[in-house]
Amino acid sequence: MRTFLAASLALVSACIAARAHDHWINNGDMVSPIDGSHCCGTADCAVIDPDFVREVAGGFALHGRVTYGSGEGAITQLLDETVPANEVQTSRDGAFWRCKKADGSRRCFFAPPPST
């Protein structure tokens, strides 16, 4: 049963990551607050498990694994970084997203709007 659940979660995550390119990040013409480049490219955006994200003074700490893309071309990256508050953009779907550059560094980070 655990194997089935893990496989199901991986499949859902891959589908969500693939949707980034036909979803609000790409269609919204989102750009990086760091350098003005577009946030979405070939397999460069992925949903981050909320368990790997912690709000800290001045931003968000990211600690955990994230997988970009799916299948044989998937890239898994270990995150250990803090995103400054001035680089956090609002997620339109309520999920945490991280878009990377070709070298793996952060291009964009999206977080759900704060609770009211």
**Tens digit of each residue's pLDDT (9 = 90 or more) over 92-106:** 999 999 999 889 999
Q: Is the CB of residue 86 less than 8 Å from the CB of residue 109?
A: no
Question: pTM for this structure?
Answer: 0.75
Quick: pLDDT tens for 52-79: 999 999 999 999 999 998 888 899 999 9
Handedness of CA 34, 38, 41, 45 (dihedral sign): positive
- Going by pLDDT thresholds of 50, 70 and 90, the confidence category of residue 28 is low
Cα–Cα distance between 11 and 7 in angstroms, integer? 6
Cα–Cα distance between 112 and 96 in angstroms, integer? 6
Q: What strand order describes the sheet that includes 75-84?
A: 53-56, 59-68, 75-84
Residue 24 confidence (pLDDT)? 73
